[in-house]
Amino acid sequence: MKNILKTKNKGFSLIEMLVSIFISTLIMLSVTASFASAFKAQKKAREVQRGIEEAKGALEYMAKIIRMSSNVQETSEVDGVSMYSKSLTQCVRFSYDSGEILEERCSLKAGSEEKPCENGNQSGDCTGSYSKTWITGEDVLNDLEFSVGGDKIKRVTIRMEMSDDYDPNAKLQTTVSARDYKDINPMED
């Protein structure tokens, strides 16, 4: 009887060891998959946040330039808006091209200071060619619209729709009034 008890307490059998290794491997694989999924979700959230911040920065930049400009109008040559920036003393045009926002600037010719960049025809007012700058990264936006309104004080509404790579439901919009008050007579009713 004593010999039987001694043989049963020698340790784990091979089958028991294989089952325990298999179960611990399954647990480790599920924990690793959970961590990988969490890291992937965090990376995607950072990309979405970066895209939204980039679009908001571009929106604020355009609003600042529009606010300090005169002769603001929609352009017929490209889908965009053009103006004369008093702070930059240049004609400026913003447009949308393949998911990116393009800013174009040119210096004025002598004698065109009275009504610079009129009718969106900036090339006739410029000395030389435009300097072009992309103010958003590639494929940040699906759509960009400019809407110019107002008689004496121009209002520009800028609407952005984020790319599907970032957040397909995110839409940004702002309305900016150009602070060009020279044409307003306070005595008019």
Q: What's the confidence (pLDDT) of residue 189?
A: 45
Place of tokens 């889908």: 79
Task: Transcribe 112-132 into DSSP letters.
Answer: --SSTTGGG-GGGTBSSPPEE
Buried b (16+ CB within 10 A) or exposed e, 4-17: eeeeeeeeeeeeee
Sheet holding 100-107, edge to edge: 69-75, 80-85, 90-97, 100-107, 131-134
pLDDT at 103 over 70: yes
pTM exceeds 0.85, yes or no: no
Query: Contact 156/147 with Cβ under 8 angstroms?
Result: yes
Which region among 67-71, 122-126, 145-149 has the lowest average model confidence (pLDDT)? 122-126
pLDDT digits (tens, 9 = 90+) for 32-60: 999 999 999 999 888 888 888 888 888 99
pLDDT at 48: 81
Residue for token pair 């008050």: 181
